[in-house]
């Protein structure tokens, strides 16, 4: 009787669960690298090119330990999220609707955070690219320095035009090309400059206490005035990407159809078949996100090491730090020290990297919004997919333009020496999306695993422990970062307000949707 039932379940699974053929060689598995390229390329623009260089200039090789550890923790986060959709066909956003409390309160809160933070990120990335364009064209001092934001608006407009022909396949092609070019340049840089390899290894694996260099007070008093904790926590948020990027990564797995990801929610019977067979194809497909994520984060650490080394070797001794006036131009000397003719190569690479990140951010915002809506109603998304895309990208674009215009007016009215506010605006959003929410999503990974997966399919112990440690680390770093930051009151009020709106809004929506309909008088 039991055998007949098992055969029935096996037949059901094979007939109703479409699974792509597994790669047959190690090279075949490596060629699957794609979604991870998007994660890597999105963080390289801000994380490695800007903040790794900045960290190297301020703290030397020792800051690399932060980048290695945070990359490891975020790797565990994205791996745990991706394996769930590969095994069950269910996206983590859909699981969030089943959290205790009014149905959908947590996704609604996430939506509010996204609606606030994504335009800030888009404006920041556009402004940084505009800063590069102002330096290249020799217009940096025009309009009291506000020319950066006008260039940024042009960059954002170009990215919005590109989204009209966009989609996952185009995004993957662009980001893979950028990553390939950067791998080549990073490798050449290390070979030529030959950093202190022992110091680099010690910095990567031995923790240190951080303190600003003594020359910073005179050279960059605004940086010296802020807490070291705020500065280093900012790196935690940008290195490796933010929490929403990783849930978008799980959506990209559906595009790749790895395992059961594209099949939709599979039945408990099918899940039981997968759990009972260690050699089931769905379980073997878990190798794909493992390989893809691992390659992505190895590249992130490698790029971090290159730019930390360059910042430590060249900028620190010269008492120079990438700041809001020169986010990307100081890094040009890493190439021009080899030969002045390499300047166009750096400018082209930096521009393509940053522009690709602006474009990717718009696509990511749409994917997140679409995934949230899909979790609530798949039919609604299928009917209104293009409308959701236009509204989401339009919101991010208009919000980005508004912030850029405000920053432009602020500088134009205050004079060239007036402090720029780009990092002041970014940091609170970065702490939300890149630190605190990473901890929350690690906890959700553990909750989903225990609630929905049979024991044979749950995370291995080492991955469970990694997510548990990540939960506490990101929570402590985020709370401490806000406590040390000048926007402490903003954080203390904004998160509870968004939480309250999520709970009350979800409760009201549930009441309206479940209220019995009354018929009118005949």
The per-residue pLDDT for range 74-95, each reduced to its tens digit, is 999 999 999 999 999 898 888 9
Q: Which domain holds residue 343?
A: 25-502
pLDDT of residue 49: 76
Mean pLDDT of 38-42: 69
403 in a structural domain? yes
- The reported pLDDT for the residue numbered 15 is 45
* Average pLDDT rounded to a whole number, residues 368-381: 83
Cα–Cα distance, 174 to 349 (Å, whole number) = 13
pLDDT of residue 4: 36
The residue that leads in pLDDT, 175 or 216, is 216
Token pair of 347 as six digits: 């400018």
Contact predicate 319/128, CB 8 Å: no
Residue 274 placed within a domain: yes
- Contact between 314 and 35 under an 8 Å Cβ cutoff? The reply is no
Separation CA 53–CA 294 (nearest Å): 23
Say how many C-beta atoms besides its own lie within 10 A of residue 362's C-beta.
26
Whether the predicted pLDDT of 153 surpasses 70: yes
| CA–CA dist 334, 322 (Å, integer) | 13
- Judge whether 357 lies within some domain: yes
Contacts of 132 (CB under 8 A, 6+ apart): 327, 328, 329, 347, 350, 351, 354
The whole-chain average pLDDT of the chain stands at 81
Rounded Cα distance between 176 and 37, Å, is: 6
Q: What is the pLDDT of residues 5-28, one digit of tens each?
A: 333 334 334 445 556 666 676 676
324-343: average pLDDT: 76
Residue 520 lies in a domain: no
Instruction: State percent of the chain over pLDDT 90.
Output: 21
d(CA 236, CA 27): 33
How far is residue 230's CA from residue 235's CA, in Å, rounded to a whole number?
A: 9
Asked if residue 5 is part of any domain, the answer here is: no
- pLDDT recorded at residue 382: 80
**Cβ contacts of 287 within 8 Å, gap of 6 or more:** 29
Is residue 3 included in any domain, yes or no? no
Q: Which two tokens stand for residue 44?
A: 């390289």
Angle at CA 281, nearest 5°, toward 280 and 285?
125
Q: Is 393 helix (H, G, I), strand (E, B) or coil?
A: helix
CB neighbours of 51 closer than 8 A, spacing ≥ 6? 234, 235, 238, 239
433 neighbors 244 (Cβ within 8 angstroms): yes
> What are the pLDDT digits (tens) for 436-449?
889 999 999 999 99
pLDDT at 126 over 50: yes
Phi, psi angle pair for 327, to nearest 5°? -60, -35
Domain harbouring 128, CATH code = 1.20.1740.10
**Alpha-carbon distance 492 to 514, whole Å?**
34
How many domains, the chain? 1
DSSP 325: T
Assess contact for 186 and 310: CB atoms under 8 A. no
The pLDDT, as a whole number, for residue 63 is: 93
pLDDT for 448 equals: 94
Contacts of 34 (CB under 8 A, 6+ apart): 172, 176, 252, 256, 292
Q: Could you tell me the sign of the dihedral formed by the alpha carbons of 350, 352, 355, 356, in that order?
A: negative
* Contact by Cβ (8 Å): 430, 237: yes
Q: Which residue has the tokens 């002045």?
A: 340
Q: Which of 134-143, 150-159, 180-189 has the lowest mean pLDDT?
A: 180-189
Cβ atoms of 38 and 360 closer than 8 Å: yes
Contacts of 130 by beta carbon, 8 Å cutoff, 6+ apart: 147, 148, 149, 150, 151, 152, 153, 154, 155, 404
Going by C-alpha positions, the residue among 238, 241, 175 that lies closest to residue 33 is: 175
Residue 510 lies in a domain: no
Alpha-carbon distances, residue 381 vs 164, 370, 371, 375 (angstroms): 18, 7, 9, 9
* DSSP collapsed to 3 states, 259-279: CCCCCCCCCHHHHHHHHHCCC
- Tell me the chain's radius of gyration from C-alpha atoms: 24
CA 45 – CA 356 distance, rounded (Å)? 9
- 485 by DSSP, 3-state: which? coil
Amino acid 521: pLDDT: 47
* Residues 300-306, mean pLDDT to the nearest whole number: 85
Q: Which residue has the higher pLDDT, 428 or 486?
A: 428
Share of the chain above pLDDT 70, in %: 79
Residue 217 reports pLDDT greater than 60:
yes
Residue among 436, 375, 467 at smallest CA distance from 113: 436
Cα–Cα distance, 140 to 164 (Å, whole number): 31
Angle at 234 between CA 479 and CA 489, to 5 degrees: 40
- Residues 51, 221: contact at Cβ < 8 Å? no
Give residue for tokens 């959908």: 104
Tokens 């402004």 sit on residue: 127
DSSP three-state, residue 109: helix
Cα separation, 231 vs 90, whole angstroms: 37
Considering the domain boundaries, does residue 234 fall inside one? Answer: yes
Residue 295 corresponds to which tokens in the numbers above?
């390659």
Alpha helices for 194-260 (secondary structure H) = 197-205, 216-219, 221-225, 228-238, 243-256
Chain-centroid distance, C-alpha 513: 34
Lowest-confidence pick of 104-108, 136-140, 191-195, 506-510: 506-510
């Amino acid at each position: 009787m039991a055998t007949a039932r098992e055969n029935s379940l096996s037949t059901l699974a094979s007939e109703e669960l479409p699974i792509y053929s597994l790669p047959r060689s190690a090279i075949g598995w490596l060629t699957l690298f794609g979604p991870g390229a998007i994660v890597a390329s999105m963080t390289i623009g801000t994380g490695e090119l800007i903040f790794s260089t900045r960290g190297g200039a301020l703290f030397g090789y020792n800051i690399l330990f932060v980048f290695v550890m945070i990359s490891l923790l975020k790797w565990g986060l994205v791996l745990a999220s991706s394996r769930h959709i590969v095994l069950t066909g269910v996206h983590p956003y859909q699981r969030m609707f089943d959290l205790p409390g009014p149905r959908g309160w947590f996704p609604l809160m996430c939506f509010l955070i996204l609606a606030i933070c994504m335009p800030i990120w888009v404006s920041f990335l556009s402004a940084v690219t505009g800063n590069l364009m102002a330096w290249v064209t020799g217009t940096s001092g025009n309009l009291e320095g506000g020319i950066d934001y006008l260039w940024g608006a042009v960059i954002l407009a170009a990215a919005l035009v590109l989204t009209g022909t966009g989609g996952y396949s185009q995004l993957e092609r662009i980001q893979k090309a950028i990553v390939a070019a950067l791998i080549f340049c990073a490798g050449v840089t290390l070979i030529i400059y030959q950093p202190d390899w022992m110091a680099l290894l010690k910095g990567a694996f031995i923790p240190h206490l951080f303190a600003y260099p003594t020359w910073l007070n005179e050279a960059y008093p605004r940086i010296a005035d802020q807490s070291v904790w705020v500065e280093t926590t900012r790196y935690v948020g940008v290195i490796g990407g933010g929490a929403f990027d990783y849930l978008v990564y799980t959506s990209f797995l559906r595009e790749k159809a790895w395992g059961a990801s594209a099949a939709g929610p599979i039945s408990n019977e099918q899940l039981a078949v997968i759990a009972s067979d260690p050699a089931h194809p769905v379980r073997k497909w878990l190798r794909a996100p493992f390989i893809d994520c691992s390659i992505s984060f190895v590249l992130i650490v490698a790029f971090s090491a290159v730019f930390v080394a360059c910042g430590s070797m060249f900028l620190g001794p010269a008492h120079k730090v990438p700041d809001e006036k020169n986010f990307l131009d100081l890094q040009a000397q890493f190439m021009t020290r080899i030969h002045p003719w390499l300047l166009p190569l750096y400018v082209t690479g930096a521009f393509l990297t940053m522009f690709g990140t602006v474009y990717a951010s718009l696509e990511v915002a749409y994917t997140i919004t679409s995934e949230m809506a899909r979790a609530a109603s798949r039919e609604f998304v299928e009917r209104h997919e293009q409308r959701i895309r236009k509204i989401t990208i339009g919101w991010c674009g208009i919000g980005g333009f508004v912030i850029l215009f405000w920053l432009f007016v602020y500088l134009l009215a205050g004079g060239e020496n007036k402090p720029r506010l780009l990092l002041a605006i970014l940091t609170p959003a970065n702490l939300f999306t890149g630190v605190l929410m990473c901890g929350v999503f690690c906890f959700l990974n553990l909750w989903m695993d225990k609630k929905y997966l049979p024991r044979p399919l749950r995370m291995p112990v080492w991955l469970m422990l990694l997510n548990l440690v990540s939960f506490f680390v990101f929570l402590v770093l985020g709370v401490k970062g806000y406590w040390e930051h000048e926007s402490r009151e903003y954080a203390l009020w904004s998160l509870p307000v968004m939480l309250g709106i999520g709970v009350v809004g979800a409760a009201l929506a549930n009441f309206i949707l479940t209220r019995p309909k009354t018929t009118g008088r005949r």
